[in-house]
Each structure stands twice: as C-alpha cells, then as structure tokens.
Structure 1
C-alpha cells in the first residue's frame, strides 16, 4: 500500500491566500473597478472546493450557480469557486471552461449568470508564458468567478468605455512589471 504525502491544501489557507490576492492585486491595483464595493460590503462568497475530478467540480459548479441565482444580491452578489485540487494544468482548466459555459446554458441561466476564469498559469492566446499581461487573470489557485449579469450591467452603465478597463490593466501591469508583482507578495 502506498501513501500519499501530498495533503490537500487547508481550505482556510486557500481562502486567505485568495482574499489576499483579491485585496492586493484585483482591488489594490484596480484591475477590476467593481470589486472593491462588493468586497467592502461583504457580498462576495468564497467557496473552497474539495473536488478532485472535473466531474465533481462540474456538480459543485451547478450547485453554486443555482445558489447564487437564489441568493439575495444584497447579501451575495458574486461567488468565487476556488478549486485547488483539480484542473491545476491551465490547458485542462481552459478546456473545462467550455463545459462550464454549457452548464450555464443547461441550467437556463444564460443571460442571468456568467463565469469568469482565473488560474495560476493563466495565459492569453498569443502571449508568452511570462508576459505580465497574463497576470491580470492569475490567481493563487484555479478559480471560477460566478457573476450576475445584472451586476455587470449596473457597473458598466457608470463607465463610458469598458474597454478602458482592459487598457488600464495592461498599462498598470506593464508599469508594475514582474518584480513589482512579486513585491506585492503574490505568487508569480
């Protein structure tokens, strides 16, 4: 009988590291101008998944999507489904996103909820692995961000040009550089 010396990460630690990333990078660098109010008003639900297979994660994703749909937006506006034990390879994670989007449609939530993706190895198409632009979507653990479309619509109504968010993010990250990212105490 062989023993596995690799223990699953502690859920509290996973949540703490994810929250630190959110505060230092997403909010601290203003990568998402809408995140601060949700965080400050404690309307962000953190769920650390124990799933160890994509199939288990898909089942948990279905439960979380339905829970977000049922929740009062004044209590839970958005959710982070963090899954440290599954889809650690970015290509596998990226392939899973098709199934996640299909699940949103299967649950008749298309137009109501959507999923954004974050991963420690996130890489935009056409970029090199270590390009700083990839860090806008790099999180400590693979993470699915469940969002209400109504929240996105309300947030974007206040902005003249939502494309400016992406452009500002790239400028911020370019100015910060990899050393600056590491200086924030974030994984690189």
Structure 2
C-alpha cells in the first residue's frame, strides 16, 4: 500500500519542465535580481549554468546522479559549463534529512578525488541556518523552490573571492537586502504578474 501511495505522490509531483522553470525564475529574480550571489549573472548570461532535473526518489539514487554530474563537470570545459544545479524535487524534502545528506555529498567529492577541484553547495525550500528561526527572512538567501545541489568549480570560487575578498560582507549585504524586502516582498517577487 505504501508503495502505491509513493507512486501516486511521484506521479502527482511537479514535472521536469515545471521544476526547471521555477528554478530558473528563482535564479533570475532572487539570486541575480537581488544580487544574492554577485558571481551568478556572468555565468548565467553566458549560458554556462547547467540545469539538471533529477527524478531520484531515494538518497542512493541521488548520490549516484550526483557522482555522474560531478564527473560531467570535471570533464567539461568551464567555458561550456561553469556550474551545475542538480534539482531533486522527489527526495530529501525534509531539510534535516537533506542537511545530513550533505555529508555524503562531501564524502563523494573526496572519493572521486575531486576535493580541491569541485565542491557542493546547498539550497532547499526550508533552508535554515543553525542560529536562526524557521521564519527568519535571512534563511531565504539559501531557499530555492526545490531541494538543489549546486556543483561549483573551486577555481571559479577562488576567482570570485579575489574580486570579493571579504565573503562575510556579501552575507551581511544579503541579510540586509532580505530584511528590507521582507516576507511580503519575497512573495511579490515571484507573483505571476508582480503585483500579488
């Protein structure tokens, strides 16, 4: 019976087109539009961001796909793909489970001997920083429409940090931007006509 319920939930879940469209909208309106990541626009406008939809329904399937995407990024020139967003709507919907999974993701990077070359960053619809409350607006700096693993090249991160040597300044600026925007402003950002 539970298998049938799981299959029904999977079938009723959002499809690839909807998931990737929502992720692109979030990247354009929040990450780039609010300048939450000052490095995102350059790679996005050059079409160097790879969007990958995962149909994984178990952490084991997701770790396998993550391995494939890490190797793909390693083997692809940065001019073609600088970074990858692996969006996985059907697994790790619970933030604590997702957060625990990140240890496996880091272990996989090491097992593939990509430590120092690639890293995995994290976004989740219920993202919550350790010292924050669940409704704190600052959490929205890491909130994506669906659970997402962000694969980054260390070289790209290093170049970005050279331009912005104080990453804490970015974090504080983001918090200030989000506080000024507030929850209602965040909702309006994604309203279909911009007025809701």
Structure 1-normalised TM-score? 0.96
1:48 pairs, out of 38, 43, 53, with 53
Partner of 2:85: 80
Secondary structure (helix, strand or coil) at the match of 2:129 reads coil
**Residue 172 (structure 2) aligns with:** 167
Q: 1 or 2, which has the higher helix percentage?
A: 2
Q: 2:24 aligns with which of 12, 15, 19?
A: 19
The alpha carbon displacement at 1:170 in A equals: 0.5
Q: CA deviation at 1:5?
A: 3.7
Local SS of the residue matching 2:84: strand
| Inter-partner Cα distance in structure 2 for 1:70 and 1:120 | 30
Q: What is aligned with 1:158?
A: 163
1:185 aligns to 2:172 (yes or no)? no
| Misfit runs of 4+, over 6 Å | none
- Helix, strand or coil for the counterpart of 2:121? strand
SS in 2 for 1:86: coil
Alignment of 1:1-188 (within 5 A): 2=4, 4-6=7-9, 7=11, 8-185=13-190
C-alpha separation in 1, matches of 2:167 and 2:106: 22
Distance 1:177 1:160 in 2: 28
Aligned length: 186
**Cα distance in 2 between the residues matched to 1:65 and 1:11:** 20
**1:34-67 residue CA offsets vs partner (Å, 9 max, x unmatched):** 0001110000000000100000000000000000
